[in-house]
């Protein structure tokens, strides 16, 4: 059966198996004509299409962000948090970039993440932030990873492996991981010479000054009460590094700010903190069709055209990490203009409203900049009712090819 999009216009009408209709006066570009005229491995700009959807990561931006954070904490070392595939930016390339820029150590969530860096030849200290079961401890020991003790039973498991170096985490109010303040003395005795660091995590350094000060005061009181023997002390996350000098201690431990993402999400501007967003998420216009008034788009036909318009099919969906909740909410950049998402995001595809200037092969920017216009991860997060962290970490690396610019030097 011949598809509707493939039928050539004749005398201003097009034949459909459902009903005849008048083509909109604005006349969207003819799909069949453009397919014949343009190699769809090439963007309209002349650049090669890397994949159906791709992420561009600027490593020079990440290096600049490291230097910005080091200036905020000039008397502290910097431990770069590169868990979750470096917040979706690519673990190994990002780790190399932050170390080149001056980071002293890395932090990850799992022993498997740490082992990936060792396999890539990275020799810097690596701290595993979460609790590890025996198999994880064995992997950490094999790969010379530092581990965290979060409880008395956990400290005992770690102490049974004498080659492990350990950081003790203290719960000062986040109530998630860490020993209680009154358990620190017991944990220290269990870990003895294996103990090389002690830390806490700030629950609301981006939003609640009083709560943050309470956490830091409790942490300082524990440090004053215990003879910890000169171990590395750290507490500052990205927000702490930027706005709470009291939290800096021996080492700061930023995560989201390394990637040019603002700790306040959509309420903050990364550029105001001298942070450069490092990731762009892009696709291309794969097809264009005309919509008449009343015609719907995508599953459920939740969008219906109110007037004649053009609709561009773009090969990105929730399988790539472009969340379904963005349906009928989000915008994308095409030819430097913000274009509305029409209807539901599907597993592999979205449709955006465009005009007659847009052609097949045009670049589509879901996150990033184009011709002076910009859509930040923070803005996409607001449309999705979430945070910028989830937007970038949710990008599916199996479906979204990454490319890197400025791989060495900055």
Spell out the residues 6+ positions from residue 125 whose beta carbon is closer than 8 angstroms to its own.
104, 105, 106, 146
Give exposure, 207-246, as e/b (b: 16+ Cβ within 10 Å): eeeeebeebbebbeebbeebebeebbbbbbbbbbbbbbee
CA distance 307 to 195: 68
> Among 249, 240, 245, 199, which Cα is nearest to 222's?
199
Two tokens at 277?
Answer: 């967003």
State the sign of the Cα–Cα–Cα–Cα dihedral 217, 256, 340, 4: negative
Two tokens at 379?
Answer: 């803005």
Two tokens at 367?
Answer: 């996150």
CA distance 59 to 93: 8
End-to-end CA, the chain: 55
Q: What sections of 102-200 are H helices per DSSP?
A: 111-119, 134-142, 152-159, 184-191
What residue has token string 């502290």? 76
Angle between helices 111-119 and 91-101 (to 10 degrees): 70
Tally of CB atoms within 10 A around 144: 15
Please calculate the CA angle 80-81-86 and round it to the nearest 5 degrees: 110
325 SS3 class? helix
Q: Which active-site residues does the annotation give? A: 83, 299
């Amino acid at each position: 059966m011949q598809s509707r999009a493939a039928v050539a216009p004749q005398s201003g009408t097009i034949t459909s198996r459902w009903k005849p209709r008048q083509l909109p006066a604005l006349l969207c570009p003819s799909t069949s004509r453009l397919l014949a005229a343009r190699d769809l491995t090439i963007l309209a700009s002349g650049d090669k299409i890397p994949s159906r959807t791709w992420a561009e990561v600027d490593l020079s931006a990440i290096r600049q962000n490291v230097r910005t954070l080091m200036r905020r904490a000039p008397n502290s070392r910097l431990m770069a948090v590169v868990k979750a595939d470096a917040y979706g930016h690519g673990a190994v390339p990002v780790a190399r970039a932050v170390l080149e820029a001056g980071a002293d150590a890395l932090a990850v969530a799992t022993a498997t993440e740490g082992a990936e860096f060792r396999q890539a030849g990275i020799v810097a200290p690596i701290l595993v932030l979460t609790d590890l079961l025996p198999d994880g401890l064995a992997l950490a020991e094999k790969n010379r990873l530092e581990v965290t003790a979060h409880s008395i039973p956990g400290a005992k498991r770690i102490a049974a492996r004498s080659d492990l170096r350990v950081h003790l985490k203290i719960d000062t109010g986040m109530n998630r991981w860490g020993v209680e303040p009154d358990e620190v003395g017991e944990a220290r005795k269990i870990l003895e010479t294996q103990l090389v660091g002690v830390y806490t995590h700030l629950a609301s350094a981006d939003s609640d000054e009083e709560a943050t000060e309470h956490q830091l005061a409790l942490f300082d009181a524990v440090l004053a009460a215990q003879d910890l023997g000169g171990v590395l002390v750290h507490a500052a996350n990205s927000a702490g590094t930027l706005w709470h000098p009291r939290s800096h201690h021996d080492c700061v431990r930023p995560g989201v700010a390394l990637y040019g993402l603002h700790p306040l999400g959509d309420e903050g501007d990364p550029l105001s903190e001298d942070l450069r967003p490092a990731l762009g998420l892009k696709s291309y216009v794969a097809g264009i069709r005309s919509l008449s008034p009343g015609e719907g788009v995508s599953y459920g036909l939740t969008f219906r055209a109110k007037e004649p318009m053009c609709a561009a099919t773009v090969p990105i969906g929730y399988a790539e990490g472009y969340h379904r909740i963005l349906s009928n909410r989000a915008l994308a950049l095409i030819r430097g203009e913000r274009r509305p998402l029409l209807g539901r995001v599907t597993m592999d595809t979205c449709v955006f409203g465009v005009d007659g200037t847009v052609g097949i092969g045009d670049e589509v920017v879901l996150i990033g900049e184009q011709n002076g216009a910009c859509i930040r991860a923070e803005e996409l997060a607001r449309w999705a009712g979430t945070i910028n962290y989830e937007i970038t970490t949710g990008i599916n690396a199996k479906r979204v090819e990454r490319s890197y610019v400025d791989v060495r030097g900055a």
